[in-house]
C-alpha cells in the first residue's frame, strides 16, 4: 500500500510582520543610497539569516556605539534603544536612523507619559532582552521589571496608588494576562495605558498556532534562538502537550522527530523570512509525500511608514 501523505499545516499569519519588514527595508535602502558600511546597533531583528544577508551587502552590526567611527551612519534596531543611546549618538555626531518598531515606540511613549505623571512603571518582560533594556531606559529611576507572577508578592513600590504597568511586545498573551491579574490583585489602583502592549503580530501568530495545535503531532517553529516571539510559539505548543522545536532553518530538522508525526504544523516567528518556511516544507516533501493545508487565522494588512528621509519622493514614485 502507498504511504498516506504526511499532512503539513501552515497556520497564518507567520513569518515577517510589518515592523520587521520596515526595519530591514531601512537598512537595505541605506545600503543602496549611501553604500556600505552602514552600522547597525545590535541585530536589526532577531534572525541569523537576516543578519547574515545584510552583512553580505555591507551592514556592520555592533554592540555599542563606541564601535562606530565618528560621523558614520548608524541604525538603531527594531527593538528600540534607551534615550541615553540617542543622546550618545548625537553627542558623537553620528548620523542616526531609528528603525524602532512603531509598536515598541508606543510602549516607550506610554512609559514616558506614566513616569512624567509621577507613576512608577512596572514593566512585564524578560530581563536582558533588548526591547526591555530600551524601555527601562526611558525612565530608569521609575521602572521596575517583573518577569513572573511569583515575583509580585515581594515587590516593593514607592506608592501603591501611583503605578502603571506595561509589557514587552513579544510575550505570550496568556503569560501577560496572568501577571497583570496578579498585579491588580496586589495593587488594586494600578493602571494600564488602555491599549494592548503585546503587538498584533505576536498575538496573531500565537492565535494561529493555537487554532491548529490540537491537530498536530509535531510543531516546527522557524526562528532564531534569541527571538522572543518565536520561543513563545514553541512554549504554546509545549503547553498543549504537543512536541515542538525551534529551528533556525530546514537543515536543523531531525528526521527522528518525524517518525510518528502524521501531521506537522510549520510556522515562523515574526522575524523569520518566509523563504525559510518554504524550505522547511520542501525538506519535508523530500522525506516523503505531503499534503499542504493552510489555515488562515487572520490576514494582516498593517504597514508602517519609513522614516521621512527614506520615503520615495514624488519623482521616484513616477518612475
At 1 the pLDDT is 42
> Which pTM does this prediction carry?
0.92
Rounded Cα distance between 162 and 189, Å, is 8
The 10s digit of each residue's pLDDT in 167-208 is 999 999 999 999 999 999 999 999 986 558 889 999 999 999
The 10s digit of each residue's pLDDT in 95-110 is 999 999 999 999 999 9
Rounded Cα distance between 79 and 73, Å, is 18
The 10s digit of each residue's pLDDT in 67-91 is 999 989 999 999 999 999 999 999 9
The 10s digit of each residue's pLDDT in 132-174 is 999 999 999 999 999 999 999 999 999 999 999 999 999 999 9
The 10s digit of each residue's pLDDT in 15-62 is 999 999 999 999 999 999 999 999 999 999 999 999 999 999 999 999
> Where in the sequence numbering do the catalytic residues fall?
131
Q: What is the chain's mean pLDDT, rounded?
A: 94
Kindly state the DSSP code that residue 219 receives in the 8-state scheme: E
The 10s digit of each residue's pLDDT in 263-297 is 999 999 999 999 999 999 999 999 999 999 999 99
The 10s digit of each residue's pLDDT in 291-307 is 999 999 999 999 999 99
Q: Quick check: helix, strand or coil at residue 190?
A: coil
| Mean pLDDT, range 208-217, rounded to an integer | 97
HEC string of 258-292 equals HCCCCEEEEEECCCCCHHHHHHHHHHHHHCCCEEE
Nearest to 272 by CA among 248, 254, 297, 250: 248
In sequence order, which residues have a C-beta less than 8 Å from that of residue 46 and are 6 or more positions away? 79, 223, 224, 226, 227, 228, 230, 271
Q: Quick check: helix, strand or coil at residue 97?
A: strand
pLDDT of 124 > 60? The answer is yes
At 312 the pLDDT is 75
Amino acid at each position: 500500500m502507498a504511504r498516506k501523505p504526511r499532512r503539513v499545516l501552515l497556520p497564518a499569519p507567520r513569518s515577517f510582520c510589518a515592523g520587521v519588514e520596515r526595519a530591514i527595508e531601512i537598512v537595505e535602502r541605506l545600503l543602496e543610497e549611501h553604500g556600505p558600511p552602514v552600522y547597525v546597533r545590535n541585530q536589526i531583528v532577531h534572525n541569523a539569516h537576516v543578519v547574515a544577508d545584510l552583512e553580505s551587502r555591507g551592514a556592520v552590526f555592533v554592540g555599542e556605539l563606541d564601535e562606530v567611527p565618528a560621523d558614520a551612519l548608524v541604525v538603531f534596531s527594531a527593538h528600540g534603544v534607551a534615550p541615553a543611546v540617542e543622546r550618545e549618538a548625537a553627542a558623537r555626531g553620528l548620523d542616526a536612523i531609528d528603525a524602532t518598531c512603531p509598536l515598541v515606540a508606543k510602549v516607550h511613549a506610554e512609559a514616558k507619559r506614566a513616569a512624567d505623571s509621577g507613576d512608577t512603571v512596572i514593566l512585564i518582560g524578560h530581563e536582558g532582552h533588548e526591547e526591555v533594556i530600551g524601555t527601562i531606559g526611558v525612565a530608569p529611576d521609575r521602572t521596575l521589571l517583573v518577569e513572573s507572577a511569583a515575583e509580585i508578592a515581594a515587590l516593593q513600590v514607592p506608592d501603591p496608588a501611583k503605578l502603571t504597568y506595561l509589557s514587552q511586545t513579544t510575550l505570550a498573551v496568556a503569560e501577560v494576562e496572568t501577571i497583570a491579574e496578579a498585579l491588580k490583585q496586589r495593587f488594586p489602583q494600578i493602571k494600564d495605558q488602555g491599549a494592548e502592549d503585546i503587538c498584533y503580530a505576536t498575538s496573531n501568530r500565537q492565535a494561529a498556532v493555537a487554532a491548529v495545535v490540537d491537530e498536530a503531532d509535531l510543531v516546527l517553529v522557524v526562528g532564531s534562538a534569541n527571538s522572543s516571539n518565536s520561543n513563545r510559539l514553541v512554549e504554546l505548543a509545549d503547553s498543549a502537550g504537543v512536541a515542538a522545536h525551534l529551528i533556525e532553518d530546514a537543515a536543523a530538522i531531525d528526521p527522528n522527530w518525524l517518525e510518528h508525526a502524521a501531521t506537522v504544523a510549520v510556522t515562523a516567528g515574526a522575524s523569520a523570512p518566509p523563504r525559510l518556511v518554504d524550505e522547511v516544507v520542501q525538506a519535508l516533501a523530500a522525506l516523503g509525500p505531503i499534503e499542504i493545508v493552510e489555515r488562515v487565522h487572520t490576514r494582516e494588512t498593517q504597514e508602517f511608514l519609513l522614516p521621512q528621509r527614506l520615503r520615495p519622493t514624488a519623482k521616484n514614485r513616477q518612475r
